[in-house]
Amino acid sequence: MVVNDLITILKGRCVTSDLGLNREIQYVFCCDCKKIVQEKGSQDYAWVNADADEAAIDLALEKAMSCIIVPYDILLDNKIINYAISKEFPIISTGYSSYKVCSKIYEAFKERT
């Protein structure tokens, strides 16, 4: 599965640029606490994060994560969006809750195996 697939699965939209939409996703990680993500996050994870900011983008890049998914269509400040665009890092927005996001991605992975 790639980031672009999430847009369809989550009935979402990319709030950054189209760059990075072909990044591979191996796992979904749901946590707003950056300390936990620092310890347990990993490469090719899609990170469900309701508190996306510049530090979260930097952490996701450091961990080589695939994207950040923002639940509940939470509006991000243009400064954060522009920062992600400058780093060519995709952020997906969806109206689903964090739980629903994880459930939908889990089901999509199940169907592919």
Q: Over range 61-69, report the average pLDDT.
A: 97
Closest to 90 in 3D by CA, of 61, 59, 68? 68
**The pLDDT of residue 72 is above 70:** yes
Summarize the confidence of residues 45-59 as an average pLDDT.
96
Name the architecture of domain 3-101: 3-Layer(aba) Sandwich (3.40)
Sequence-distant contacts of 33-39: CB under 8 A, at least 24 apart? 34/59, 37/63, 38/63
Can you read off the two tokens belonging to residue 8? 């369809």
| C-alpha–C-alpha distance, residues 53 and 29, integer Å | 17
Using a 10 angstrom Cβ sphere, with 0-12 exposed, 13-18 middle and 19 or more buried, the burial of residue 96 is buried
What is the arithmetic mean of pLDDT over 43-62? 96
CB 109 within 8 A of CB 27: no
